[in-house]
Structure 1
Amino acid sequence: MSLCAIANFAARGCCGLVLLGLCLTSTLTNAQEAKEAPQWKKVVFLAGNPSHGYGAHEHLAGCRILAEAIERAAPEVTCKVYPGGWPEDESVLNKADTIVMYCDGGGGHPALKHLDTLGKHIESGAGFVCLHYAVEIPNDHGGPEFLKWLGGYFETHWSVNPHWTADFTKLPDHAITRGVKPFAANDEWYFHMRFVPDMTGVTPILTAVPPQETMLRSDGPHSGNPAVRKEVARGVPQHMAWAYERPGGGRSFGFTGGHYHWNWGRSDILRLVSNAIVWTAGADIPSDGLAVSGAPIEVLEGGQDEEPPSSFDAEKTREEFRVESASR
């Protein structure tokens, strides 16, 4: 072989190696970029109608606070808030990674007329979140579905809804509790929920021991029953929030607080629920939780369904509910 032929062969070999190296580098880079790409998620909030008056059951204002907090902390998550309890155009639920219901429940639960549609999305893998009264649905119509979809629900003549200060002294190691410190809060904390048998797939998130004062009311659909009285008398811990990993796939979260709008001014509460919503959407939660801060009293005052009464005292409310200042 001549020197010229050898030179040409070597040149071609070098070019091939260079091209091969470039291809490998490009492939590795693309794989790395794909691995690090944002996990785009869609959260749909279904906010219920006006309900209890100023400062309570503020479904629309509460959903907006949660949505804004999540989008600030996790730009890859898109949140859409729909008032009225159920969207006029059900197509907005398409491709929802999680559906959040914050509304009045019981016999007027917005889900009752749409169980088939809701079930289709949940059984396809969408996350499901119910806040406060939304965890209650009639035992014989919606109850079996919510037990399957949410892992637990408020069952009348079994569960109760007293107002009390729950002291959550210890939190489990879970993505939902990242960045959340133990806290105490005054709310209408429902408890003695009806859970799936053996609580299979359920992880209690907020657990406390209700005091005897929660049992001062007579027995009734929401106020008391022999079973819950025995447990409170024995000091049995009760679960006020839970995560549920559904056996067929998908994640759910139930939260019985949320009566008082002012508690969204507590960073630990807002972060816990925000973490939970994003977790049910299938996204990763940072090791220190989502970077959210409690809404200041000025934000909480605005956007509610009704105007504040003449007797409303913002500073007194801020102190009573430990609402954090805007500077925090």
Structure 2
Amino acid sequence: MKLLGGCHGGPDRKYQVLETELRPTSQSHPVTRGVSALTVREEFYYALKWSDPKPTPLMEAVIDGEAWPVSWGWERPGGGRSFGFSGLHFHANWDRPEYRRLVVQGVLWTLGREIPADGVALPDVEPAPGTQ
């Protein structure tokens, strides 16, 4: 928790595999620039435990009719940044440019790099074998 700003664990942890909407909570944060909402089949951990101060929610997923933060950015009180995302369980999702952009920009933001206003340009990639 001290490193990432949030965690999933303990006897009260929650997760679901489902098809749902994943959407940015803010377009002004550098990590979500150029990332649009999408419908995705994924395993999400939700009802996460948060540090104090709480991280900034970046993406939310609708689970059981409620929007839950599933991705976040955190500027640690002692310095440094962390990016978290409770998805990324299915390789087929890496074929989605929105997923790749979110993760690439999360890494760049963590490193303190500048992210363009319309998001990082990503190369086209071949779908992962067995994901079509």
Give the TM-score normalised by the residue count of structure 2.
0.89
CA deviations 1:261-295 (Å, max 9, x no partner) are 11110000100110000100011111111111463
- Alignment partner, residue 180 of structure 1: 35
Considering fraction of residues, name the structure with more helix: 1
SS at match of 1:271: helix
Check 1:294–1:240 CA distance in 2 against 1; reply closer, same or farther (3 A cut).
farther
SS at match of 1:243: strand
Structure number with larger C-alpha Rg: 1
Alignment partner of 1:204 is 2:34:
no
Deviations 1:127-171 (A, max 9, x none): xxxxxxxxxxxxxxxxxxxx1111001112222222112312443
Deviations 1:239-280 (A, max 9, x none): 111111101111001111111111110000100110000100
Q: 2:109 aligns to what SS in structure 1?
A: helix
Choose from 133, 138, 154 the match for 2:8: 154
Q: Distance in 2 between matches of 1:205 and 1:294?
A: 24
Identical aligned residues as a percent: 35
Structure having greater relative contact order (Cα 8 Å, sep ≥ 6): 2
2:102 maps to 1:288 = no
| Runs of 5+ consecutive residues of structure 1 not aligned to the other structure | 1-146, 212-234, 302-313, 319-328
Equivalent position SS for 2:3: helix
Judged with a 3 Å threshold, the aligned counterparts in structure 2 of structure 1 residues 151 and 194 are, in CA distance, closer, same or farther, namely same
Q: How does 1:1-328 map to 2 (within 5 A)?
A: 147-172=1-26, 173-197=28-52, 200-211=53-64, 235-293=65-123, 295-297=125-127, 300-301=128-129, 314=130, 317-318=131-132
Structure 1 outlier segments of 4+, above 2 Å? 168-171, 293-296
Contact 2:24 2:58 in 1 (8 A): no
Cα pair 1:264 1:294 within 8 Å, conserved? no
SS of match in other structure, 2:79? coil
Measured in 1, the distance between the counterparts of 2:44 and 2:124 equals 19
* Distance (whole Å) between structure 2 residues aligned to residue 191 and residue 239 of structure 1: 7
Of the structure 1 ranges 235-244 and 176-185, higher mean CA displacement relative to structure 2 is found in 235-244
Q: 1:206 to 1:269 in 2, by over 3 A?
A: same
What is the count of residue pairs matched by the alignment?
Answer: 131
Does structure 2 conserve the Cα–Cα contact (< 8 Å) formed by 1:171 and 1:182?
no
- Paired with 2:67 and 2:30, the residues of 1 have a C-alpha distance of 22
Q: Structure 2, unaligned stretches of length 5 or more?
A: none
When the two chains are superposed, the root-mean-square deviation of aligned CA atoms in Å is 1.7
**Structure-1-length-normalised TM-score:** 0.38
Q: Deviations over 1:3-32 (max 9, x none)?
A: xxxxxxxxxxxxxxxxxxxxxxxxxxxxxx
The structure richer in strand per residue is 2
Q: Is the 8 Å Cα contact of residues 16 and 43 (structure 2) preserved in structure 1?
A: yes
